[in-house]
């Protein structure tokens, strides 16, 4: 937890932004791995509940009555049988006091609170639920069917939470820096272990173990694969092969639940081939370009499109693309190689606040999501502000099924050299990803130690470690 005053101040600002009614913030319950008493470990609290209450125990709900300026922590105290198995924990009243909440009540009273609010005509604000037990609870409390709850969620509350959580406080930035320090250990562990004959599963497991030993958990399921063309290629039992590229996309989550997210791609044998280096250098240039242009007031959508143009120009130099760059990008031909967005917001969630809705988190009335293939996967497009934390993650991928599909349909033949592209079907994919903080006049990397990514640095690290 941060200081008691942090949560008091955050809730006060939340009340001001929402204006009226009752806010109900649901914490998470235990999630069973395969039966109720065998839960996933460690317990993961809902991020917005953590942001406003800071309490990392299951079975809690925060109620903020704006109209009557009354805050209540709802939850049941544990009994002696729980203590036998799990040890003593603070009482609900002690937890409430630690976060600056005066009032507490058992879970059975939540229905009464909601019923009284509805009788008085107060609006009950809640966020879009993503766990089925919470959806059932909302249905029981408010009579809203689970299939309708996303639309029934409070737009006022969503906008207020997004406004507050998007701009990171210094203590949050410090926590993300700690996550990045763990991320450095994770990625350099993978680089040290990568060699022909080792399985993807072994390397991925060591990466996960590093995160678990220094923090709370991984910030998302680790991606470690020779098939970098698969966006979410989790480690398999495949053996790493000489001459292939390995892609590692992994991040840490600190004890206080702030995240890092980095990707590195490197040769299994520690030495890039010339063909690998040609493609890698394009991704490297796109990655570094972002550092020079991202700053407050700039639309992230425009940065993404500028990277697409730079990538297209460089791919034309290799012969893989052709024609007019502007026309190619406007038509979406570049998405053959970059079928995802340049980056996403990051904080307590690795895709920060994604559950609140992309339209609220990454876009606004000025900048709307695209429907074009590839660009439709851009999670963030709006203007940057000081204090935003984002990922910078360009990539180039050679996806055999996508190549076959576009070629069969005759798509973008004026811009893509399909004959040459056929020879890259066994290449895989390359992504380079780092976490950046938008500062007053630009941006900077997060994390004091830089995971090697310039080709000479990668080869030197793998040779000497």
CA distance 402 to 335: 10
Under a CB-based contact definition with an 8 Å cutoff, are residues 85 and 30 in contact? no
Q: Which residues of the chain have pLDDT under 70?
A: none
CA distance 418 to 181: 42
pLDDT tens digits for range 103-159: 999 999 999 999 999 999 999 999 999 999 999 999 999 999 999 999 999 999 999
For residue 311, give the nearest of 173, 142, 444, 431 by alpha carbon. 431
For residue 49, give the nearest of 78, 67, 23 by alpha carbon. 23
Model confidence, pTM: 0.95
3-state SS of the chain is CCCHHHHHHHHHHHHHHHCCCEEEEECCCCCEEEECCEECCCCCCCHHHHHHHCCCCCCEEEEEECCCCEEEEEECCCCHHHHHHHCCCCCHHHHHHHCCCCEEECHHHHHHHHHHHHHCCCCEECCCCCCHHHHHHHHHHHCCCHHHHHHHCCHHHHHHHHHHHHCCCHHHHHHHHHHHHHHHHHHHHHHHHCCCCCEHHHHHHHHHHHHHHHCCEECCCCEEECCCCCCCCCCCCCECCCCCEEEEEECEECCCCCECCEEEEEECCCCCCHHHHHHHHHHHHHHHHHHHHCCCCCEHHHHHHHHHHHHHHHHHHHCCECCCHHHHHHHCHHHHCCCCCCCCECCCCCCCCHHHCHHHHCCCCCCCCCCCCCHHHCCCCCECCCCCEEEECCEEECCHHHHHHHHHHCCCCCCECHHHHHCCCCCCEEECEEEEEECCCCEEECCCCCCCCCHHHHHHHHHHC
Residue at token pair 């250990």: 185
pLDDT tens digits for range 50-96: 999 999 999 999 999 999 999 999 999 988 888 887 787 889 999 99
User: How distant is the alpha carbon of residue 52 from its chain centre?
Assistant: 19
Longest dimension (CA), the chain: 73
- The CA-based angle 91-93-95, given to 5 degrees, is 70
Under a CB-based contact definition with an 8 Å cutoff, are residues 228 and 431 in contact? yes
Residue at token pair 């063909």: 275
CA distance 245 to 241: 9
Residue 84: the pLDDT is 84
Six-digit token string for 57: 């125990």
CA distances for 84 relative to 61, 88, 91, 92, angstroms = 25, 8, 16, 18
CA distances for 187 relative to 14, 21, 132, angstroms = 37, 46, 34
Under a CB-based contact definition with an 8 Å cutoff, are residues 198 and 239 in contact? yes
CA distance 167 to 343: 16
Six-digit token string for 187: 């990625």
């Amino acid at each position: 937890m941060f200081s008691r005053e942090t949560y008091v101040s955050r809730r006060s600002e939340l009340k001001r932004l929402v204006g009226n009614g009752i806010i109900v913030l649901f914490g998470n319950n235990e999630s069973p791995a395969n039966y109720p008493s065998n839960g996933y470990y460690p317990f993961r609290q809902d991020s917005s509940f953590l942001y406003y209450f800071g309490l990392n125990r299951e079975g809690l709900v925060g109620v903020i009555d704006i109209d009557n300026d009354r805050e209540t922590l709802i939850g049941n105290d544990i009994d002696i049988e729980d203590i036998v198995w799990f040890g003593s924990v603070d009482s609900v009243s002690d937890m409430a006091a630690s976060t600056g909440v005066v009032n507490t009540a058992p879970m059975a009273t939540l229905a009464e609170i909601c019923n009284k609010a509805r009788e008085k005509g107060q609006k009950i604000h809640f966020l879009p639920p993503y766990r089925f037990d919470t959806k059932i609870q909302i249905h029981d409390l408010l009579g809203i069917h689970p299939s309708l709850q996303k639309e029934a969620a409070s737009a006022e509350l969503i906008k207020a939470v997004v406004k507050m959580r998007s701009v990171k406080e210094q203590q949050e930035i410090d926590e993300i820096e700690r996550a990045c320090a763990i991320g450095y250990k994770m990625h350099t562990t993978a680089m040290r272990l990568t060699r022909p004959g080792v399985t993807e599963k072994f390397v991925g497991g060591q990466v996960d173990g590093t995160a678990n030993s220094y923090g709370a958990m991984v910030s998302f399921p680790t991606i470690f694969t020779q098939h970098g063309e698969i966006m979410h290629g989790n480690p398999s039992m495949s053996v790493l092969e000489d001459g292939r590229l390995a892609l590692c996309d992994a991040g840490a989550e600190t004890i206080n639940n702030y995240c890092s997210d980095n990707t590195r791609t490197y040769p299994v044998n520690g030495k890039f081939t010339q063909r690998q280096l040609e493609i890698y250098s394009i991704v490297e240039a796109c990655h570094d370009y972002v550092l020079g242009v991202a700053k407050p007031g700039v639309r992230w959508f425009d940065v993404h499109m500028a990277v697409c143009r730079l990538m297209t120009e460089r791919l034309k130099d290799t012969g893989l693309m052709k024609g007019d760059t502007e026309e190619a990008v406007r038509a979406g031909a570049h998405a053959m190689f970059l079928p995802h967005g340049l980056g996403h917001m990051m904080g307590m969630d690795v895709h920060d606040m994604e559950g609140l809705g992309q339209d609220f988190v990454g876009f606004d009335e000025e900048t709307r999501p695209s429907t074009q293939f590839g660009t439709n996967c851009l999670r963030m497009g709006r203007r940057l502000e000081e204090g935003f934390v984002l990922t910078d993650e360009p990539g180039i991928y050679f996806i055999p099924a996508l190549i076959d599909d576009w070629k069969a349909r005759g798509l973008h033949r004026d811009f893509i050299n399909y004959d040459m592209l056929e020879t890259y079907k066994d290449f895989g994919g390359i992504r380079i990803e780092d976490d950046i903080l938008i500062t007053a006049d630009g941006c900077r990397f997060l994390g004091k130690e830089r995971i090697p990514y310039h080709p000479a640095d990668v080869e030197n690290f793998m040779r000497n470690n």
